[in-house]
């Protein structure tokens, strides 16, 4: 089994659970970005959903760092908690969730085509980056604004205590390239 990020790394036996969780987080992020890009998130929920997406993206990065042995193994309980929160927020959204009377939780409603659009490095931007590139202003100013926005979100997460100093520094390095 190869790493979800597309790097070609073969997943070691001890990292299969982290890889499966990273895959689940990536698909949840893909679905939320699809909803956000389609404008189907009510204004009163936008801040909570944006926060969920940003925390999920950080969890995804932590899992990838664990898989690539760039940091100590991330506790899978954090990823499970994020997945549970995501499910709770999307459970009653028919356009996102296939209902099943057999299962407690609904399955994500994504087509094969939508799954093929997954940005394996940044699943939280799979649809929004495409939308920005399809006619919206996307020159150097847009790129600089995106970096500035990402850095501001990281600063906020760091000041809220969601990111340690080390996690903040690593995420900042990734954003700045």
Q: Is residue 90 part of a domain?
A: yes
Name the range with the highest mean pLDDT among 19-23, 66-70, 127-131. Answer: 19-23
Q: How confident is the model over 44-68, as a mean pLDDT?
A: 94
Shared domain check, 146 and 114? no
Kindly write down the DSSP assignment for every residue of the chain, as one continuous string.
-B-TTSS-PBPPGGGHHHHHHHHHHHHHHHHHHHHHHTT-S-HHHHHHHHHHHHHHHHHHHHHHHHHTTSSSPPPHHHHHHHHHHHHHHHTT-TTTEE--SSSSSPEE---HHHHHT--SS-GGGTTHHHHHTTTS--SHHHHHHHHHHHHHHHHHHHHTTSS-HHHHHHHHHHHH-
CA distance 53 to 30: 9
Shared domain check, 168 and 118? no
Shared domain check, 174 and 97? no
Shared domain check, 71 and 19? yes
> How far is the CA of 132 from the CAs of 27, 37, 127, 138, 143, in angstroms?
20, 10, 9, 6, 10
Q: In whole numbers, what is the pLDDT of the chain averaged over residues?
A: 83
Shared domain check, 148 and 93? no
Q: Is residue 30 part of a domain?
A: yes
| Res 75: pLDDT | 82
> Is the confidence at residue 119, as pLDDT, over 50?
yes
> Is the confidence at residue 148, as pLDDT, over 90?
no
Q: Is residue 79 part of a domain?
A: yes
Q: Is residue 2 part of a domain?
A: no
> Is the confidence at residue 136, as pLDDT, over 50?
no
Higher pLDDT, 81 or 130: 81
Shared domain check, 145 and 122? no
Shared domain check, 32 and 61? yes
Count CB-CB contacts under 10 A for residue 117.
Answer: 16
Phi, psi (deg, nearest 5) at residue 97 = -130, 130
> Is the confidence at residue 70, as pLDDT, over 70?
yes
The residue segments making up the domain with residue 163 are 137-177
> Is the confidence at residue 149, as pLDDT, over 90?
no
Q: Is residue 4 part of a domain?
A: no
> Is the confidence at residue 52, as pLDDT, over 90?
yes
- Total domain count for the chain? 2
Residue 123 in contact with residue 34, Cβ under 8 Å?
Answer: no
Shared domain check, 173 and 119? no
Shared domain check, 141 and 113? no
| Res 77: pLDDT | 94
Band the pLDDT of 170: cuts 50, 70, 90: confident
Q: Which of 109, 127, 145 is the last residue of a domain?
A: 127
| Res 146: pLDDT | 67
Write the pLDDT tens digit of every residue in 82-107: 999 999 998 888 888 876 655 455 78
Shared domain check, 155 and 83? no
N-to-C CA span, the chain:
28
Band the pLDDT of 34: cuts 50, 70, 90: very high
> How far is the CA of 23 from the CAs of 6, 61, 71, 145, in angstroms?
11, 11, 19, 29
Higher pLDDT, 98 or 46: 46
Shared domain check, 149 and 102? no
Shared domain check, 122 and 146? no
């Amino acid at each position: 089994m190869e790493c979800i990020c597309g790097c070609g790394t073969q997943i070691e036996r001890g990292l299969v659970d982290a890889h499966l969780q990273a895959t689940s987080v990536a698909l949840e992020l893909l679905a939320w970005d699809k909803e956000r890009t389609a404008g189907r998130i009510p204004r009163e929920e936008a801040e909570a959903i944006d926060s969920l997406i940003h925390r999920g993206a950080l969890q995804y990065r932590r899992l990838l760092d664990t898989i690539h042995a760039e940091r100590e193994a991330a506790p899978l309980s954090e990823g499970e908690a994020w997945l549970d929160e995501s499910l709770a927020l999307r459970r009653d959204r028919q356009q996102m969730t296939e209902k099943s009377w057999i299962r407690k939780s609904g399955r994500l409603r994504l087509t094969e085509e939508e799954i093929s659009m997954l940005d394996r490095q940044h699943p939280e931007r799979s649809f929004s980056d495409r939308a920005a590139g399809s006619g919206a202003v996307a020159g150097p100013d847009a790129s600089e604004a995106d970096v500035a926005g990402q850095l501001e979100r990281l600063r906020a997460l760091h000041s809220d205590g969601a990111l340690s100093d080390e996690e903040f520094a690593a995420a900042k390095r990734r954003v700045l390239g």
